[in-house]
């Protein structure tokens, strides 16, 4: 029963939330970010700008379209979760927390602060992270879909954390922005799955299989 609800993914994620919340609560966000920024490498300078695109809304939409040819139900769940979570994030970013600035707003003139040459930095609308939200929508839905495979749940959890943390490495967000985004994305995916998935039970299989069956029946 545990494996059918993404138990290992969600349990691991909740433990990480608690640890990160304690870290954020006990730390000054600027000091914490400066410490994280000190851990950089040529490899990460190349990897992070590429990997961070996994959290882009366009990437999630493309994955949703891909799942039309694998499992229509998952494609719909991904797309609906994305619409709900991205709408909420944009409301929070631009209405509720519009004056919360990104790390580079504070460190742009700090010569000791590591910056990646050629990378485009943003300065405003930091909280919460939209990329982190999309990451956790994607990997949460996939963890529920492949919930019978424990190793996949754990792998998806690790991937979601790595891709979300690229936003901190790139100084596009503070740790607390990532934490908030992960909570929004995960809860949106969870409630969308619980509410919508039972109502989509007739949409199992790919769109190609459904077309094939329809042609055979005619």
Any domain includes 127 = yes
> Residue 191: inside a domain, yes or no?
yes
Range of the domain at 91: 2-201
pLDDT reported for residue 131:
97
Whether 58 is covered by a domain: the verdict is: yes
**CA–CA separation, 139 and 123 (whole Å):** 27
pLDDT value of residue 204:
78
Lowest mean pLDDT among 44-48, 90-94, 145-149, 183-187: 145-149
Quick check: is 211 in a domain? no
Task: Please tell me the total count of domains within the chain.
Answer: 1
Band (216; pLDDT cuts 50, 70, 90):
low
**Sequence-separated (6 or more) residues with CB below 8 Å from residue 85:** 133, 134, 137, 184, 185, 188, 189
Q: What pLDDT is attached to residue 1?
A: 34
Question: 66-114 pLDDT, tens per residue?
Answer: 999 999 999 999 999 999 999 999 999 999 999 999 999 999 999 999 9
Is 215 domain-assigned? no
Q: Is the residue at 156 inside a domain?
A: yes
Q: Is the pLDDT of residue 182 over 50?
A: yes
| Burial grade of 150 (CB within 10 A; 0-12, 13-18, 19 or more) | middle
* Distance from C-alpha of 177 to C-alpha of 174, rounded to nearest angstrom: 5
Predicted TM-score (pTM) above 0.85: yes
Q: What is the pLDDT of residue 57?
A: 93
Confidence at residue 207, expressed as pLDDT on a 0 to 100 scale: 77
**Would residue 187 count as lying in a domain?**
yes
Please tell me the predicted confidence (pLDDT) of residue 36. 97
pLDDT band (50, 70, 90) for residue 217: low
Tell me the C-alpha distance between 11 and 139, whole Å. 14
The verdict on residue 209 lying in a domain is: no
> For 111-163, what is each residue's pLDDT tens digit?
999 999 999 999 999 999 999 999 999 999 999 999 888 999 999 999 999 99
* Tens of pLDDT, residues 164-180: 999 999 999 999 999 99
């Amino acid at each position: 029963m545990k494996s059918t609800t993404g138990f290992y993914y969600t349990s691991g994620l909740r433990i990480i939330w608690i640890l990160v919340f304690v870290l954020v609560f006990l730390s000054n966000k600027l000091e914490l970010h400066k410490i994280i920024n000190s851990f950089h490498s040529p490899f990460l300078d190349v990897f992070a700008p590429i990997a961070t695109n996994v959290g882009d809304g366009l990437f999630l939409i493309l994955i949703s379209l891909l799942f039309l040819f694998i499992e229509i139900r998952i494609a719909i769940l991904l797309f609906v979760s994305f619409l709900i979570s991205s709408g909420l994030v944009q409301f929070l970013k631009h209405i509720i927390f519009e004056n919360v600035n990104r790390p580079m707003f504070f460190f742009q003139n700090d010569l000791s602060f590591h910056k990646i040459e050629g990378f485009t930095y943003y300065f405003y609308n930091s909280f919460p992270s939209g990329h982190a939200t999309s990451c956790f929508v994607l990997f949460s839905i996939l963890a529920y879909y492949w919930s019978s495979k424990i190793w996949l749940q754990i792998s998806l959890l690790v991937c979601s954390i790595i891709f979300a943390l690229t936003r901190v490495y790139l100084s596009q967000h503070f740790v607390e922005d990532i934490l908030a985004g992960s909570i929004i994305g995960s809860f949106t995916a969870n409630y969308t799955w619980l509410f919508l998935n039972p109502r989509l039970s007739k949409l199992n299989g790919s769109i190609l299989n459904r077309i094939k069956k329809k042609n055979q029946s005619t």
